Amino acid sequence: MVSGPISDQLRRQAEDWSLYEQAKNYALDYMKTVLDRPVFPEQEAIRGLASFRRRLPEKPADPHEILDQLHTFGSPATVAQTGGRYFGFVNGGIIPAALAAKWLGDVWDQNAALYVISPVTAVLEGVCEEWLADLLGLPEKTAAGFVSGTSAATMCGLAAGRDYLLRRQGWDVNAKGLFGAPEIRVVLGEGAHSTVYKGLSILGLGKDRLIKVPVDDQGRMRADRLPELDDKTLLILQAGNVNSGAFDPFAAICAKARSAGAWTHVDGAFGLWAAASPELKVLTEGMDLADSWSADAHKTLNAPYDNGIILCRHRDALSQALHMTGSYIVYSENRDGMMYTLDMSRRARAVELWASLMALGRLGAAELVEDLHHKAQYFAAGLEKEGFHIRNAVCFNQVLVSCGDPGLTRKTLEKVQQSGECWCGPAQWNGEMVIRISVCSYRTTPDDISRSVAAFVKAMRESGEES
């Protein structure tokens, strides 16, 4: 059998070192200019994206031209979230060592499914598993699965909890499914994140029969309104409300849930990392008594994107909910990562997570978390001094802002977004439209915040003059 011309061409391209030099130069050019770019791309750059809308070419394109098109038309149309003035959603920056490790890991192109496919990935995952449990104060033998994000991590934790509760009632979900299964109760706060509802729906637990516990004015579950818990209860708590940043009162709830035999899952997408901080770990007191936890390293920890983590006290429960078999699958006596995730084939996320943790160390992780909190407080104080209303108690890294009038708040936000100086998004909070600021990047400086406050002031003044 003779190779086709495309295979021959690709093999030649694989040894065209100038192609990779071109990519490196474009990447470095972007990194050198990102702090000076508009935070949200200008209209001219967005119009330039039309160059990508074309028919699929019949013949292979030149790889140098492909890179050139991406940098010429793609780079200007990016959101500069790796700079210091992006405060929309909870998007962290990228720790330099982790970015460099990601480049190297991309060249490795490892499949993280099994030890026999990638021993280095299996070892790095095992090391990260131990480090994370230690850093966050979780049980020593806590299992970790490395997934795309908290949406997937939460689903994994809820699946483990669902199956665990039913198994104790003599029901094997893997064998029998949910038809005719004993009923379990799902209890969560009224402020639970939408991804929790999504995960429950996919897992067949629905939304109409959930027991929703009232929350206080910061979005924290009210422990005094918690229903009676038992060993048929799946309880979902929150470390970091997506709007206010508030934490559920774990100390008052988790011990009660554990005593009752309930399964407790903690959604800690960005807030779980507070446990790494001597100053802020009081927010997570009692959280270690839960059964599973979900988090994003690409948020507060500032690892690259696609770095979700599911942590579980019960290793067997997690693997039983997620494992699969096949005659070609070669399990080993070493760590086989697919036992703890939804995926088989997946990229080696642990490479840059390991690099992130190495680059920070215990002290650096604590300082990073605390620094984001202090900058959020500084941002809130600066806005309040200029006449803005701060609608939440800034307990972590989230700030909710309004101008006192819904129309003025909306117009002010639109002008801030259009300014290119910084970018924030809207939210609804206690029936009011607010501006939601998430301080997540190590790149953010006090000057970035002062510059952003000035953009807010200008936007509110111009909006008021137009009204």
Neighbouring C-beta atoms of residue 118, cutoff 10 Å: 21
pLDDT at residue 3 in the model = 60
Predicted confidence at residue 323, as pLDDT, reads 84
Taking only the tens place, the pLDDT of each residue in 304-350 is 999 999 999 999 999 999 988 888 889 999 999 999 999 999 999 99
Q: Residue-wise pLDDT tens for the chain (467 aa)? A: 456 789 999 999 999 999 999 999 999 999 999 999 999 999 999 999 999 999 999 999 999 999 999 999 999 999 999 999 999 989 889 999 999 999 999 999 999 999 999 999 999 999 999 999 999 999 999 999 999 999 999 999 999 999 999 999 999 999 999 999 999 999 999 999 999 999 999 999 988 889 999 999 999 999 999 999 999 999 999 999 999 999 999 999 999 999 999 999 999 999 999 999 999 999 999 999 999 999 999 999 999 999 999 999 999 999 999 988 888 889 999 999 999 999 999 999 999 999 999 999 999 999 999 999 999 999 999 999 999 999 999 999 999 999 999 999 999 999 999 999 999 999 999 999 999 999 999 999 999 999 999 999 999 999 999 87
Helix H or strand E segment including 24: helix 17-33
Cα 159 off chain centre by: 19
pLDDT digits (tens, 9 = 90+) for 376-403: 999 999 999 999 999 999 999 999 999 9
Question: Alpha carbon of 53 to those of 72, 74, 463: distances in Å?
Answer: 15, 12, 36
Q: What is the dihedral of CA 135, 289, 266, 373, to 10 degrees?
A: -50
The H or E element that residue 7 is part of is helix 5-14
Q: Are 156 and 321 in contact (CB under 8 A)?
A: yes
* Closest by Cα among 265, 214, 213 to 239: 265
How many CB atoms sit inside 10 A of residue 23's CB? 16
Asked whether the beta carbons of 420 and 38 are under 8 A apart, the reply is yes
**Strands of the sheet with 425-429, listed across from one edge:** 389-390, 398-402, 432-438, 425-429
Give me 55's structure tokens.
Answer: 């028919």
- Domains belonging to the chain, first-starting first, are 100-358 (3.40.640.10)
Q: How many residues comprise the chain?
A: 467
Question: Measured between alpha carbons, how far is 189 from 298 in angstroms, rounded to an integer?
Answer: 25
Residue 42 structure tokens: 């200008």
Three-state SS sequence of 440-461? CCCCCCHHHHHHHHHHHHHHHH
pTM, to two decimals: 0.96
For residues 440 and 372, is the Cβ–Cβ distance under 8 A?
Answer: yes
**Scanning the structure block, which residue is given the tokens 């035999």?**
261
**Residues with Cβ < 8 Å from 422, sequence gap 6 or more?**
39, 85, 86, 87, 416, 448, 451, 452, 455
